[in-house]
Amino acid sequence: MIICERKPIDEIKSFIAGKKKVLLVGCRGCVTVCNAGGTKEVEILAALLRLDAQKDGNELTVDEFTLERQCDPEYIDELADLVGKGYDAILSMACSVGPQFLSRRYPKEQIYPSLNTCFIGGALAHGIWTEHCQACGNCVIHLYGGMCPVSRCSKSIMNGPCGGSSNGVCEISKEVECVWHLIASKYMDEGRLSEFAPIQPIKDWTKSRDGGPRKIVREELVK
Amino acid sequence: MVIGGGIAGIQSALDLAEMGFFVYMVEKGPAIGGRMAQLDKTFPTNDCSICMISPKLNDVGGHINIEILTLTDVLGVKGKEGDFEVKLRKNPRYIDMSKCIACGECATKCPKKVSNYFNEGVDTRKAVYVEYAQAVPLKFSINDKECIYLTKGKCGNCKKVCPANAVNYEDKAEEVTLKVGSVVVASGFDVFDPTVAETYRYSQWPNVITAMEYERILSASGPFQGHLIRPSDHKEPKKIAWLQCVGSRDVNRCDKRYCSAVCCMYAIKEAVISKEHASDLEASVFYMDIRTYGKDFEKYYNRAIDAGVKFIRSRVHTLTPEPNGDVTLEYIDDLGERQSETFELIVLSVGMTPRANLPRLAESLDIDLNEEGFIQTQPLTPINSTRPGVFACGAVNEPKDIPTTVMEASAAAEAAGRVIAEARGTMTKTREYPPERDVKDEAPRIGVFICHCGINIASVIDIEDVVNYCKDLPFVELCTNTLFACSADSLGKIKDAILEHKLNRLVVASCTPRTHEPMFREALAQAGLNKYLFEMANIRDQDSWVHQKEPAKATQKAKDLVRGAVAKAALLEQMYQTRMGLTKEALVVGAGAAGLNSALSIAQLGYPVHLLEKTDVLGGNGPKIFSREKDVRGYVAKLIKDVESHPLIKIYKNTVPKSSHGFVGNFETKCLGPEGEFSISHGVTVLCAGGHAHKPNSYLYGENPNVLLSLDMDELLATNSEAIKKPGQTFAFIQCVESREPERPYCSKICCTHSIESALTILDRNPEATIYILCRDVRTYGFREKLYQEARSRGVRFIKYCLDCGKPEVTAGPNGKLHITIKDHVLNRPVLIEADCLTLATGVDPTPMREEIVEVFKGQLSAEGFLFEAHMKLRPVDLATDGQFLAGLAHYPKPLEETIVQAKASAARVATILSKEYIMVGGVIAVVDPEKCAVCCTCVRACPVQVPKIVRNETDPALRGHAFMEPAMCHGCGVCVSECPGKAIKFQFFTDEQLLAKVEAMIVEKKAKPA
């Protein structure tokens, strides 16, 4: 899923400075699952903004609404009536797809992102998420013991480890595990080190970002 | 009948009552709670003691099948097992329990101050008193030896001021005779009085105190409200010493041969907690052997060392007072040097002694005491007294810690229940209710009762004003005041009002729901209303008591509190607990001593048992053990025979569990046996996966035939081998082999006693033998200490080593001899021992349980690989999942007698479930709205007891699934509710709507009734 994190409260406050009526829009998709933008987080942010306004003596109305998803126009449409009531700012609590879809559908509104979209990953445990994919468009993890060197190696090198791997951690930080250490250890544990040895040819990056913004068209699905 | 209202008696009584028996609990004092109520924190979890026991006190106090007889002495017991007549004397309380509302007015006005024994005499209380704030029953009593009126006929203040007219100076002692089937003695212990050990000058100097006094000083409800100050000048001590073994292991001055088993741990705990009170505090513990032998005890000890607690191996010989109240200790250190150090406070780690009245009690019960003055039991029947039908549990038969006490208490319940198994359910009471009125479609009609609580509330709060105010609150149909809402006549009025005014919600503004909510809910049920349509406002504890000096504001606050309660009440919904049937059969996994005992006891209580054993033999380690004190092999052989011949036990050999699902009352486990896979339906599970002797990689084990493990030596002794009878032989034992080291940090509890028993047996058969035991701390806790004394007196040489100064080294010498080099701690130089035989005490490893047990039954393993019980102190036999229990080595290493106790305890715990005709599920639990669920797994991960699961959508499997909490499993803690990112989980009775309405109403005053 897409892992997001709420923006610092001061930044969000700066979006709505001087505004009187604000709508927070949550999303029941990835950001609910990663505890960043579901109904509960919308409630919390709304409460924070209200308290803050009260503390500073500002007049502020904060309305809340959570959509099924913000990455499909049909759901974005559901907001039409509410948006019609007139808001000074609409804060999306989805990944950055959400505020973009909102902006396109409601071009006159002032739309702000209240989350930072961080990476594609998963939850290791409650409250801990790690990056597992960089959407390179050409998955090769089967060549690396089921682990992704593109997203999980600091240098994204395809033939590692580099000289910066020490005791299983990356030279950039003791908090970053060296995926190449994990890959090599896995092959060693399985007694398949010889399969690990071949040098991989240069990866085909044409399907990654280097070809500009990407688009998929499935002819059979398009009417 | 259970004699004693401490934690042992409480556990026994609750188990027996839940098993379907009516229980009389006899307590000699005015309230139950015992020693545990006095403790501050408990080791090794640092949990607050009173917080743990308080819910249990309320369970006992409110149990329909337990009658508490306080201030009662046992005079005599006639009859026989199954048919006893117990003569009791109920001493006068001088307070009518049915009238006393525990307002405390009497104590406030009582002029007589006396030493407060609950606080160990550190402060004073009045002659009319309750022992402590959480006491059950929470009723005052007058001590007739202290009361001025009762001794001199003057005063009478309390009678004058009592608003409930509860004082009765004419109260008389009364003798009653009760018929009971069995008796459990759980009368506990006395704290050793160190006055007799004059070295310590306890009675002379105020800053030499007992550990029990120290517990009260640390306690937030103690004499200093939890401020750590010393008695003499109320100065905060910065340097405290604990002196161990005061009144224990001291024949010379104290006439106590045994080890009190708990003092090392409590001293370490007190030292650690003291350092939490003041981080710059210096804490030193003077000890002989550190006996941290229980589960997680060694870890706790290591943490204390890391936290800077100093441990000094020495028995302090001289204490000298300093003019400023400090005390100087003189002692000889490990190297024989004389040292002296000054401390600001000395805590004597006093041991446990038999209760002063135990000889008289034993006489009236006609049971024997042992030579130490505790109740006589036998190693293989550790809870049976010398009289059939009379059982003893807890510190009344040997000093022991709380978890072991709780296990024994459950085991005693099993034994006491078994002898009267046929009478189960015949004496118990059940509550009958009229049919419930469905009020779902009715608009709220709220009745509000505002309690005066005598003058407790009314003297501060203007009740009349509050009543008038509340009449106009939304949905309030009736608002009235009542002198004592909790009195029987008031409850009757409440019931009448519900019927007369067609009320469908009730609010009582009085005291705390902690003690009173069940009573009011009961009144609702009796009036035909769903019991959850009730809300309380605590205008006493949270208002009149804390705002006595500001009556106007307190009255305003009372209005706010009631307004909040009314707002919540309007939104209350009917909730139903549903009855769910259960399979009255048990599954026991593992057929060692634990599994066999558990299976046999469960079967003897009348329930079918499926006993799984993965090998083709029963008995586990039992047949390998030799003991000088008891015939273990004969015992296990008989146990196997009894199990095999019991008609209710089905044994499955060579069978392992593969998968299990379900919940309490309704489990289904797939097993794989010699004939393939099959399935067992059962209501409860007992896990007894056991353990085995650790095989070491050191000291030439496996290389030299003369290096044995403890069980190998047992085999030689059991077969009466000639190999140990040769003249001039030298035997050595090394303790803590690969134990209590960083790689395997726990203590296996049994090895010190085991090696000493082996050594003594060798000496019995080969008196000329030379025996060395190389050890670290000798951990012969409880009465096992006597074996240690015997070993030393008969010439067994104990040489102590430590990890820092070097472990022994073992090499093969000429002529098959073993050369063992160790640094002698007295000579401070290496000595060489030429031994013919070396026995390694390697301790116990748990059976690897991850795949076969934990993955199948969803338990949790500790870092050492033992199963985690539900609560270390008070639920040592239960697993976190309801309906699952454990016993034996899978829990932690323990001697056979403790395994037997735990296994029998598991049978009692099992019977508390299987004796029911149905289980009630639902109520205050978490419920998922599948529509809102994002299937994010947050609840699955957040739940402390692993209840939530992601399940398929039942109406349409193609749809997304959702989280689901099995109502029978949910504990109602609310963690998932607060974590759910989609707000998809509702916490019944505490919904967001209800709580927000309550909070909003309390903050914002809305006066007018809605149109």
Q: How many domains does chain B have?
A: 7
d(CA B870, CA B906): 13
Average pLDDT, integer, range B664-688: 95
Tell me, yes or no, whether B1003 lies in a domain: no
**Is there a domain that residue B1001 lies in?**
no
A33 interaction partners in chain B (CB closer than 8 Å): 934-938, 981
B831 and B851 belong to one structural domain: no
Look at residue B354 in the predicted model and tell me its pLDDT.
96
Are residues B843 and B748 in contact, defined by beta-carbon separation less than 8 angstroms?
Answer: yes
Tell me the three state secondary structure of residue B416. Answer: helix
With respect to residue B330, please indicate whether it lies within any of the assigned structural domains: yes
**Interface residues from chain B to A (CB-CB < 8 Å):** 932, 934-938, 941-942, 979-983
Could you tell me if residue B581 is inside a domain? Answer: no
CATH of the domain at B511: 3.40.50
Out of B934, B941, B980, name the one closest to residue A28 (CB): B934
Q: What is the CATH number of the domain that holds B297?
A: 3.50.50.60
pLDDT in tens, B813-868: 988 899 999 998 788 889 999 999 999 999 999 999 887 898 899 888 999 999 99
- Strands lying side by side in the sheet with B656-663: B656-663, B666-673, B676-682
| Mean pLDDT across B902-923 | 92
pLDDT reported for residue B341: 96
Tell me whether residue B829 is in a domain.
Answer: yes
Helix (H, G, I), strand (E, B) or coil at A105: helix
Q: Who wins on pLDDT, B751 or B522? A: B751
Mean per-residue pLDDT of chain B = 93
- Which of B934, B942, B979 lies closest to A33 in CB terms? B934
pLDDT in tens, B960-996: 789 999 888 888 889 999 999 999 999 999 999 999 9
* pLDDT given at position B976: 94
The answer to whether residues B752 and B855 belong to one domain is no
Do B200 and B325 lie in one domain? The reply is yes
- Strand B730-734 and strand B837-840: the pairing is parallel
Q: How confident is the model at residue B416 (pLDDT cuts 50, 70, 90)?
A: very high
Residues in chain B within 8 Å Cβ distance of A126: 938, 941-942, 979
pLDDT for res B1007: 52
**Fold designation for A2-118:** Rossmann fold (3.40.50)
pLDDT of residue B225: 84
- Categorize the per-residue pLDDT at B1011 as very low, low, confident or very high, splitting at 50, 70 and 90: very low
Q: Which CATH number do you get for residue B160? A: 3.30.70
Give CA–CA dist B394/B358, Å, rounded.
14
CA distance B7 to B413: 13
* CA–CA separation, B378 and B368 (whole Å): 12
Taking phi first (over 0 means left), then psi (-120 to 50 degrees means alpha), and beta for anything else, what does residue B194 get? alpha
Whether B686 contacts B886, CB under 8 Å:
yes
pTM: 0.82
CA nearest B511: which of B61, B52, B102?
B102
Give yes or no for A22 touching B (CB within 8 A).
no
Please indicate, yes or no, whether residues B322 and B464 belong to a single structural domain of this protein: no
pLDDT level of residue B1010 (50, 70, 90 thresholds): very low
Please report residues of B whose CB lies closer than 8 A to that of A35: 936, 938, 981
pLDDT greater than 60 at residue B287: yes
Q: Is the pLDDT of residue B1009 over 80?
A: no
Residues of chain B with pLDDT > 70: what percent? Answer: 99
Confidence of residue B691 (pLDDT cuts 50, 70, 90): very high
pLDDT tens readout for residues A107-135:
999 999 999 999 999 999 999 999 999 99
- The residue segments making up the domain with residue B154 are 92-172
Tell me what the pLDDT averaged over chain A comes to. 93
Residue B995 lies in a domain: no
Q: Considering chain B, what percentage of its residues have pLDDT values greater than 90?
A: 78
* Minimum-distance CB partner of A40 among B935, B937, B980: B980
Are B858 and B899 in a shared domain? Answer: yes
Which of A24, A39, A41, A50 is most worth mutating to test chain B (most B CB atoms within 10 A of its CB)?
Answer: A39
The residue with greater pLDDT, B72 or B918, is B72
pLDDT confidence band for B62 (50 / 70 / 90) = confident
Question: Token pair of A130, please?
Answer: 């790690």
CA-based nearest distance A41→chain B, Å: 7
Task: State whether B528 and B420 are in the same domain.
Answer: no
User: Does some domain include residue B959?
Assistant: yes
Tell me: do B706 and B838 sit in the same domain: yes
pLDDT for B45 equals 87
Same-domain pairing of B465 and B539:
yes
Show the tokens assigned to B219: 């306690």
Residue numbers in A near B981 (CB within 8 A): 32-33, 35, 38-41
Nearest one of B729, B722, B713, B723 to B840, comparing CA atoms: B713
| Positions of CATH 3.40.50.2300 in chain A | 2-118
- Is the pLDDT assigned to residue B236 strictly greater than 70? yes
pLDDT for B552 equals 95
* B828 and B908 together in one domain: no
Q: Which ipTM value was assigned to this complex? A: 0.76
**Shared-domain flag, residues B337 and B370:** no
Residue B248 lies in a domain: yes
Q: Are residues B883 and B896 in the same domain?
A: yes
Same structural domain for residues B78 and B197?
Answer: no
Q: Which amino acid is at B209?
A: I
Distance from the first to the final alpha carbon of chain B: 59
Of the three residues B333, B353, B373, the one that is the final residue of a domain is: B353
pLDDT average, residue stretch A169-189? 94
Exposure letters B9-26 (e unless 16+ CB within 10 A, then b): bbbbbbbbbbbbbbbbbb
User: Predicted confidence band at B1006 (pLDDT cuts at 50, 70, 90)?
Assistant: low
pLDDT at B1008: 45
